[in-house]
Amino acid sequence: MTLPLPPQKSQHGLKRVWNAFFYSLEGLRQGWHEPAFRQEALLSIVMLPAAFWVGQTWVEVALLIGTVLMVMVVELLNTGIETAMDRFGPEWNAFTKRAKDMGSAAVMISLLFCAGVWGTALYRWSAL
C-alpha cells in the first residue's frame, strides 16, 4: 500500500522554494513560543550589532555573528527533536530521554562556544 505524498512534495521549481520559505517562517514563529529561543533571539538583537563594534576584522565580526546564529539554530533543532519525541506520547521512555538530553547537550555546547568566542573578543577589545 502506497501512501499519498503530502502536497508540498509534488511541487517543483520556484513554487517549492517559495512555499519552503513560508514553512521556514512558520518554524520561526513556532520557535518564538519556546522561552529559551525567545531569550536567545532577544539577546541577539543586542549581540549582532555589538559584533560590529567588538570585532576588529571582518573575520572576527563574522565569527561573533556566526556563534550567535549557531546558538539559535541549535535551539531550533533541539526544539524540533523535543517536539518529535513528544509526538510518541507523554510517558517516560529511555530513548526519548536520551534524544532530549543529547539535544540539550548540543545547545549547551553551542552556548559555551559562543561565550568563549565573545569572552575572548571582549578581552582583546578591552585590552586596546
**∠ Cα 37 103 16 (to 5°):** 70
Choosing from 26, 40, 60, 75, which is the catalytic residue? Answer: 75
- Active site annotation includes 40: no
Cβ neighbors of 92 (< 8 A, separation 6 or more) are none
| Integer Cα distance of 21 and 5 in angstroms | 20
Query: Under DSSP, is residue 91 helix (H, G, I), strand (E, B) or coil?
Result: coil
| Integer Cα distance of 101 and 96 in angstroms | 8
The residues that are catalytic are 75
